Every structure is written in structure tokens, then in C-alpha cells.
Amino acid sequence: MTFRELLDTPFALIQAAIRPLAGFGAILIVVAELVIAGVTAGVSRLSDDDDAAVAWTVVVSTLICAWLVRFAMRGLTTAIGTAAVHGVPTDWRTALRRSSARLGPQLLFGSLFTLVGLAVLGLGTVLIIGVPFALLWLGWLRANRFVTVPVIFAEGANHRAAVARSKLLIAGTQWPTVWLWLCVRALLLLTALPLLGIPWFLSDFSGTHRWAVIVLTTSAVLLIVAFGEVVESATRVVVYVDRRCRREGMDIRLPLGAGVR
């Protein structure tokens, strides 16, 4: 595939599976929002409605729920995407069962993914001029492990084997993959801007009361996180298929009955 096709094809994959992705994503966002609102209300009552306590509770609970939403959408999207590669239609229940069966490797990948990202960006922000270099370094690390999750699903590998397999498939194309990773981030940023305007639009009807602002803002954050993960996971699946076709001829089919001479 060309670079442009690597950017376009994930959206075609998402469009083909929009119903299970949107349905499960909506359920996740509603559940996560109820958790955030419930925890915040509990802390507000226990702290006698202290503003600082409420603010910290909203931030921490939103970060935790956003991580869980992202983790769940990563597994669901990859399960649907890898099944679609083989022409197998998959609903969200079947995809969820497939994702649950590969929970261990996914959890290890997700944890290391987050910790490495925080460590590299934290190190880069120590010096302001180090931020661009930290982003490039993080992009390189992400590129080498870019197709780890599709390998976990498509090949049934454990985390260590999937990382090694990802590095093998991506070998020689790290920098194009870094550029792809950055472009996807830029596209998500452009997409997120209109979504951030939704809470402000709804606030015209709900008012600017604190609870309305909390619910609308956290809902927008969860929506952006869920959509972003769907796009990134679909991109990972597309890159995985592209690399296997280029390196291993996965798209080559021998005629039935063809023998080896």
C-alpha cells in the first residue's frame, strides 16, 4: 500500500464495522461516565463539597476510565479488524469473547505502552528543547511495536513473541511508520477539535452549572479517547496486513492442486 492508502484504509475498515464499534463504544462511554459521576459525587459528599477534592477526583477518575475505555476499544477493534482480513464478519459479542481470550498479553502491552509513553515524555519535558526529540524517540519505540496487538490476535502469540514478531515485520520501515504514527495523531487532533465543541454547544441548554460542565467535559474526553483508539487500532491492523503481504506474500494464493516440482 502507498502511504496515502495506509491513512485511508483504516477508515474504510471502521466504516465496514461501524455498528459493533459504535454500539460497544457507546455502552463503554455511558458506563465510564456513570463511574466518574458516582465517584465524584461520593468524594464531594465526603469532602463537604471541597472544590480541590472534586477537581482532583474528576481528573484522576477520568484518566483511569479513559485508560480502560482505550484498552477495551483496542481489543474490540483489533478483534474485528483481524477477522475482517479473513472475510469473517464479527459482531461485538464475538469480538469481545476473542478479546477476553487474549486479555493477558493485551494487558501487559497496554501497561508497558502507557508507562513507556509517560517515561519518555516526562524525560523530554525536563528540558523544553528535548520535547521534539522525545516525540521522535517515542515514535521510534511505537513504530517497532506498532503491529504487536494484531500479532497477538491473528497469530495467537504471547506478548514477548508478539513484540519480536512486530519488530521483524516493521524492520526497515521504522521511519515511515513513525511518520504514519505522527500523521494519525495530527488527524485525530483535527477531529477532536469539533468534538470538544459539543460540550460548549450543549451547555447552552444545560447551563454552566458545575455538574453539567463536569459531565459534558468528561463525556467529550471519553468520546475522543474511544474514537482515537478505534482509528489507531484499525491503522495497526492495516499496517500488519500490508507488512505481511510485502514480506511474506500473504496475499498470494496458490491454485488448488498445484504441486511442487
pLDDT score at 4: 85
Name residue, grid cell 474504510: 12
Residue 55 makes CB contacts below 8 A (sequence gap 6+) with none
pLDDT tens-digit readout, 132-160: 888 888 999 999 999 999 999 998 889 99
Given a cut of 50, whether residue 54 has pLDDT beyond it is yes
Check if the beta carbon of residue 36 is closer than 8 Å to that of residue 213: no
CA distances from 81 to 31, 32, 115, 127, 149 (A): 24, 24, 26, 40, 11
pLDDT tens-digit readout, 200-214: 666 666 555 677 788
pLDDT score at 202: 63
First to last CA, the chain: 32
Phi-psi group of 91: left, alpha or beta (phi > 0 → left; psi -120 to 50 → alpha; rest → beta): beta
Given a cut of 70, whether residue 199 has pLDDT beyond it is no
| Confidence category of residue 257, pLDDT binned at 50, 70, 90 | low
Given a cut of 50, whether residue 38 has pLDDT beyond it is yes
pLDDT tens-digit readout, 73-94: 999 999 999 988 877 778 888 8
Average pLDDT value for residue range 97-115:
92
Given a cut of 90, whether residue 70 has pLDDT beyond it is yes
Between CA 99 and CA 76 the distance in angstroms is 6
> What is the rounded average pLDDT for all residues in the chain?
86
**Grid cell for residue 248:** 511474506
pLDDT score at 260: 47
Between CA 13 and CA 3 the distance in angstroms is 16
HEC profile of the chain: CCHHHHHHHHHHHHHHCHHHHHHHHHHHHHHHHHHHHHHHHHHHHHCCCCHHHHHHHHHHHHHHHHHHHHHHHHHHHHHHHHHHHCCCCCCHHHHHHHHHHCHHHHHHHHHHHHHHHHHHHHHHHCCHHHHHHHHHHHHHHHHHCCCHHHHHHHCCCCHHHHHHHHHHHHCCCHHHHHHHHHHHHHHHHHHHHHHHHHHHHHHHHHCCCHHHHHHHHHHHHHHHHHHHHHHHHHHHHHHHHHHHHHHHCCCCCCCCCCCCC
Q: Is 70 exposed, middle or buried (0-12, 13-18, 19+ CB in 10 A)?
A: buried
